[in-house]
């Protein structure tokens, strides 16, 4: 997942903010003849502020966040001062007596708010996701609504919008370079979609809604973090039947860290839950761990998220109506690749029957094994992973535990480094002396042809106060305009630490996740654009997952497996085992696709449902019942833990994006296979030149057509899943 921080209002606030509109936005302006690229203004010495959070990032490598100076007590005064500084900049732009031009309006906005950008990234991008302590949450409760109000103050500034619209409509703009034309359109389009043309009363109400939503989003995340930290299953040695030794060791280390030395802990995160459900022979414990995980935020207590969800949905619907849209989903997709909810729903429902049919096959195979063993059970959701593993062994003679022995976390990290070198010429070198926000974080310099590209931070381990799952976060976007600003990016995961000196063994799915999130980092590191607002992953939600999804494909290449899939003794994975992995590549796709699609369809349907009182759990039962979801599995993200769509507006009515991007992904990877293979230098260069380096300088649909020569076809996706092609018998 690409972590989306929406509260920031610096360096193109009008682009970063959740945009809303009165009517469907027109297409971006057509490219015009090339004009000369703008020159960055001479570098001026950055001002020095008493509050360290406001200061420019200094040090080698183009500067970096000074985490050693961060104090939670400084967040509130830093944010307030940064907003005041940015307000003065915005007022100066809006009240400029000179005729509006691209330079004195759009480029001025691109330069504005840099102190706020720095504070916001540390406050909202890093501390909120990684170090959410009670003290931090108290600041968050107060400041998030204020940040939302300030964001609205900018996007609803009538003088500022008048200048943006004047530039957008100016004949002079049509003579600018295409990326400049698109930037002017992005500012105009997103300002309109944020309510710039509303009357004062409607603007006021939109602002009130945004402030309330900011509070609700923060509370949703805080509740989820509390649920993940508070529900731990502690086991005795005689309750570990079936678990691999490496997993036992990790569980022992987790228990000791939590003050339960001599016991074994299953924490309430996917990276801990998933392997336990896969291997534990104790069905009652599997049920307990499963229910703990899938009931997060749904315990009818002080951390229950149900009422928060209901209020979020009503506010989103009201806001969309104010802006001329029938539902939040219609507003959300207006400027995405899909364009309409119908288009997104059609894609999902086209895949759904094949996925459901595969689930029924998978369950039948599992039930047959359970019956043969005399288990006397009907397969339940907490049995799926356990019996799935038995079917894998029976059908493919493939033991995931055996595969896991060759997947060491450090080696998979080295694998993505090597892949990045082969495709894009990057080299990664760990550096010392760069401060980090936690001792577990390591920092790497990224270079290409001997030149500095950026810094990459790795934060691999689970801990209290950290969001679950895995994500990528850009701390600083690439920009030629801002003094050739270099990229700073991080990848964050939640693996359980092993005992000192022992390797951390991960599952195949975990390894895919690492390649996926690193794909986001590569998108940011490859960025080669002028303006920061258009850099890297600042693209449409249903395109942003494409570079990360396609990057998953390189994990299973022989070049990666032979070099980096090694056991603790350094022995490479046997070719026979690799052949089994490849043969079983479409195994269990019914479960994987269906649990995802159930969440994505639910997301879209609940945002199309209108503005009445909606109980998230009841809507879940009705939606999934209507779809015919098999009883043996549930949504990947049940409503009260669905942070993608209820901790911000980022992926709301947009979870379909993973499927949309995966269709692009498989179609694009087939282009590599058709033209020299995964490591073909010419194809890698073309992919870099047309996709990875372009950011949001052109329409993303056109980006893809520039690479593939046509729009994407669904056939590659269906082949990769082992599903029948359209019209096949």
Inter-residue contact 138 to 126 (CB < 8 Å): no
Catalytic residue among 153, 517, 595, 632: 517
Strand, helix or coil at 611? coil
445 is catalytic: no
Structural tokens at position 579: 């052949």
User: With the CA atoms of 278, 284, 285 and 290 taken in that order, what torsion angle do they form, in degrees rounded to the nearest 10?
Assistant: 70
Inter-residue contact 636 to 598 (CB < 8 Å): yes
Burial class of residue 208 (count of CB atoms within 10 Å of its CB; 0-12, 13-18, 19+): middle
Structural tokens at position 243: 């678990």
Q: Which long-range contacts (CB under 8 A, 24 or more apart) does 442-448 make?
A: 443/64, 445/61, 446/487, 446/525, 448/424
Structural tokens at position 209: 């809604």
Inter-residue contact 18 to 122 (CB < 8 Å): no
Question: Where is 619: in which H helix or E strand?
Answer: helix 616-627
Residue 161 to residue 708: CA distance in whole angstroms: 37
E strands, 179-283, where?
Answer: 233-235, 264-266
Q: Considering only CA atoms, which of 29, 42, 4, 230 is closest in space to residue 699?
A: 29
DSSP alpha helix (H) spans, 379-530 = 384-396, 400-404, 409-424, 508-525
- Pairing assessment for the beta strands 233-235 and 451-461 based on DSSP bridges: unpaired
Question: Where is 454: in which H helix or E strand?
Answer: strand 451-461
DSSP state of 556: G
Inter-residue contact 443 to 455 (CB < 8 Å): yes
Strand, helix or coil at 476? strand
Which residue's structure tokens are 């089994």? 580
Structural tokens at position 182: 């698109």
Inter-residue contact 138 to 207 (CB < 8 Å): no
DSSP state of 650: S
Strand, helix or coil at 557? coil
Residue 473 to residue 488: CA distance in whole angstroms: 9
Burial class of residue 77 (count of CB atoms within 10 Å of its CB; 0-12, 13-18, 19+): middle
Q: How many Å is the maximal CA-CA distance in the chain? A: 84
First and final C-alpha spacing in the chain? 36
Structural tokens at position 592: 């994987």
Other residues' Cβ atoms within 10 Å of the Cβ of residue 177:
18
CB neighbours of 84 closer than 8 A, spacing ≥ 6? Answer: none
Strand, helix or coil at 714? coil
**Radius of gyration for the chain, computed over Cα atoms and rounded to the nearest angstrom:** 25
CA distances from 652 to 22, 393, 424, 533 (A): 19, 38, 33, 21
What are phi and psi for residue 491, nearest 5 degrees?
Answer: -120, 135
Point out the residues that are catalytic: 517
């Amino acid at each position: 997942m690409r972590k989306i921080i929406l509260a920031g209002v610096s360096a193109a606030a009008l682009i970063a903010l959740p945009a809303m509109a009165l009517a469907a936005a027109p297409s971006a302006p057509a490219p015009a003849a090339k004009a000369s690229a703008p020159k960055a203004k001479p570098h001026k010495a950055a001002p020095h502020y008493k509050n360290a959070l406001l200061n420019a990032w200094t040090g080698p490598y183009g500067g970096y966040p000074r985490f050693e100076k961060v104090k939670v007590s400084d967040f509130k005064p830093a944010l307030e001062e940064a907003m005041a500084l940015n307000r003065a900049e915005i007022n100066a732009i809006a009240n400029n007596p000179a005729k509006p031009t691209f330079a004195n309006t759009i480029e001025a906005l691109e330069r504005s708010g840099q102190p706020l950008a720095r504070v916001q990234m540390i406050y909202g991008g890093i501390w909120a996701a990684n170090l959410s302590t009670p003290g931090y949450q108290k600041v968050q409760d107060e400041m998030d609504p204020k940040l939302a109000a300030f964001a609205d103050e900018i996007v609803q500034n009538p003088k500022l919008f008048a200048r943006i619209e004047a530039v957008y409509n100016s004949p002079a703009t049509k003579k600018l370079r295409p990326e400049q034309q698109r930037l002017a359109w992005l500012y105009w389009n997103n300002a309109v979609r944020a309510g710039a043309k509303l009357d004062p009363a409607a603007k006021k109400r939109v602002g009130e809604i945004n402030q309330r939503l900011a509070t609700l989003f923060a509370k949703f995340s805080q509740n989820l973090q509390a649920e993940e930290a508070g529900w731990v299953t502690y086991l005795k040695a005689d309750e570990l039947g079936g678990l691999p030794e490496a997993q036992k060791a990790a569980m022992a280390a987790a228990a000791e860290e939590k003050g339960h030395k001599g016991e074994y802990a299953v924490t309430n995160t996917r990276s801990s839950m998933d392997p336990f459900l896969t291997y534990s022979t104790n069905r009652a414990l599997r049920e307990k761990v499963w229910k703990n995980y899938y009931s997060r935020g749904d315990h009818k207590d002080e951390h229950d998220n149900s009422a928060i969800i209901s209020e979020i949905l009503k506010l989103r619907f009201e806001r969309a109506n104010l802006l001329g849209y029938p539902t939040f989903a219609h507003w959300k997709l207006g400027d995405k690749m899909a364009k309409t909810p119908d288009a997104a729903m059609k894609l999902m429902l086209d895949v759904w029957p094949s996925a459901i049919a595969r689930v029924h096959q998978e369950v039948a195979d599992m039930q047959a094994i359970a019956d043969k063993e005399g288990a006397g059970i009907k397969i339940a959701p907490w049995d799926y992973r356990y019996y799935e593993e038995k079917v894998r062994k029976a059908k493919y003679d493939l033991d995931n535990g055996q595969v896991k022995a060759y997947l060491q976390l450090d080696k998979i990290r080295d694998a993505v480094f090597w892949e990045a070198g082969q495709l894009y010429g990057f080299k990664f070198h760990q550096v010392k002396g760069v401060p980090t926000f936690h001792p577990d974080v390591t920092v790497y310099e990224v270079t290409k042809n001997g030149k500095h590209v950026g810094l990459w931070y790795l934060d691999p381990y689970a801990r209290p106060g950290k969001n679950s799952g895995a994500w990528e976060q850009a701390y600083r976007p690439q920009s030629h305009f801002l003094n050739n600003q270099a990229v700073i990016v991080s990848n964050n995961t939640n693996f359980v630490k092993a005992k000192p000196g022992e390797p951390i063994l991960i599952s195949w799915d975990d390894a895919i996740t690492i390649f996926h999130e690193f794909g986001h980092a590569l998108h940011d590191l490859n960025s080669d654009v002028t303006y920061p607002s258009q850099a890297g992953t600042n693209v449409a939600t249903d395109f942003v997952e494409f570079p990360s999804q396609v990057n998953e494909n390189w994990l299973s290449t022989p070049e990666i497996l032979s070099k980096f899939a090694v056991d603790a003794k350094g022995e490479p994975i046997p070719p026979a085992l690799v052949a089994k992995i490849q043969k079983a590549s479409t195994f269990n796709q019914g479960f994987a696709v269906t649990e995802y699609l159930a969440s994505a369809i639910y997301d879209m349907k609940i945002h199309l449902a209108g503005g009445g009182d909606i109980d998230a759990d009841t809507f879940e039962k009705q939606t999934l019942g209507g779809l015919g979801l098999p009883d043996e599995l549930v949504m990947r993200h049940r409503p009260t833990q669905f942070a993608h769509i209820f901790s911000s507006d980022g992926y709301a009515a947009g979870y379909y994006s993973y499927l949309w991007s995966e269709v692009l992904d498989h179609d694009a990877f087939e282009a590599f296979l058709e033209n020299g293979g995964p490591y073909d230098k010419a194809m890698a260069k073309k992919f870099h030149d047309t996709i990875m380096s372009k950011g949001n300088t052109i329409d993303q649909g056109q980006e893809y057509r520039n690479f593939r020569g046509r729009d994407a076809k669904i056939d590659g996706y269906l082949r990769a899943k082992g599903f029948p092609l359209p019209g096949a018998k």
